[in-house]
Structure 1
């Protein structure tokens, strides 16, 4: 793993056809810093963004900007492959992070001075597109900074840095929720992405070979929107190489509708109506530390026997936590179950990312990472837009209860798919 490389080495092979020179090793700390600080700010804004919409505007308004953001994230994830093939992964990351920084700065000013709903929807949409564009290239860069045997550690290290930043940011976000100061939270996020953009930009010379190699290996014929859509459809065909992986992607794509409906419409409404701001801050902050703990475990134990079990357990616990909120259980119970789910997911996800890097050809990795990152957002906007209507005819508790049950059923179905528990390479 790159973090364990000692100083003084001449050249170290870290990827397909790429050699890590001392120049890249010198800049490696900046890459880790960029990953950490971007998620530090993200943790702050993620903790307060839904409650900001609910308190400053209305509970019924929450699904509209969040659905627009999720839809834009899906479009960004679809466009990522085309942009990487044309400009290279590193340039896409720098562009996306810079756009996120400017967008969050505008959102901070809007939260401070006040803004109309149209402006908020526009800023959320731009934020979602920039976030969607950057997800796949970041995974691609980390995939090529690791050998076949080390990719789980590489992804676990990346996730560990991310979760550490999110955990610390969530504490700050939870504190700001208690104060009701949302503008400062968005400003912190904007500053963090400005810093991450500078950090990635300073590594352009050292990472140029990775970017060019990736740019040459991806599909160079994706030069228009029609071919971009075709590439998205083709990614599902690529996923059928492993039946359990295809079933998993289909299941989480379908469950995105009730999951996003619950998390963006049901949860903030329940937290606003049934719990105090301090209790809502606990829901936002503590599970982030569980994510960090899971990533540390994944880093220390990169070869677990049943990584799929960790993924399914995590999805199930998240749904049960939503169920606990729907029947108004003590917030400590809901937070504890939710934290277990996030802990389990953070163990299984690096193994799934590493599996893609190890078992798919280089030209298919970009599409698979984009599909994995975007699978929860493809149908998510449908759930969010329906939430605006459902909140007007039924209670948030009923919405949350139904969505939780649906997600639990979908997860139970996945448990019977052959090969998913151990990520087998055989199609049964």
Structure 2
């Protein structure tokens, strides 16, 4: 095994599977609105869009199984339901969102085609790659990701050097919290548990080394991909902030159009007319690789669930691609609006499962898993209801829950549950698995 080559391919493939529509479109507008507070927004964004996803890959390195292994200590039934929910959400929201972003930024401005045509061609190509399963990681890692990274660094590097480096007054009251919640929208924590499984299967298909060698490879790749994401996100947020004094976007436009216009204007300012071409290629590649990872991961899971059937893999990939064609016709902002309540529900549970799976095994017992997940679920409910249908009665309840005003009411109760159950359980060591 050429260890350096494998590390290079796996790291770049992992980065590219993570980096999709939201990862490119969300940070610049976040920095633009944050202005002088862009650094604190960036720190918050990194927590949910970089740190938690890296932990997710580290958990995969330890488990080297499937997404099912993340929740099995809670109960087999819970883990099955959780897996199905995650994969259904993944193919229903972030995967089609990549097609919507590609259409709005890369295809429609140039060719003026309909969203249906874009999403149809897009997901047919995605399906072709997904059905050639064993070649995915190598192709993405060797060819697509280096191209994506070079283009991103061009936009960020030239953009920073060509701006006046002046920021505007922040439009965000709580920059750290806003960054954390905007990081939800990248789907990177969910991406970590989904594409991490894709990485493991791709590595196994190439028959790479022992369990420990694969663990080291996956963990190192996770750190390298995470550092790459950190650099790119910080760059995009800072570019958005520093161009805030030079570029104006129409505040009456929907958020998706604001994001697209800002990114396009930054590309034009930094790279001239060539910037539009670069941006179109960049968006298309970044979105495309993410959609491949999501659908391949979903097909892998259901294949394993149903007697390792290749037919199940093919049928799942076809159905997921068909769903992508249907939902991908919606505009980017509409998909984000639908995603928010779903994320407020599933993201906290995903985060605590990731963290518990990287804790020392002697501490992360089944009892701790159950207590933390149940408490997280209960305290996430007000956040979801508050977003869908805010009411005075709900406000009276949530005022007694720390951080609930920031849609983070689950954080402290989950932490308390983890500490209390972990510390007072007299059979803690005996329950380790």
TM-score (norm 2): 0.35
Structure of higher RCO (CA pairs closer than 8 Å, 6+ residues apart)? 2
TM-score (norm 1): 0.36
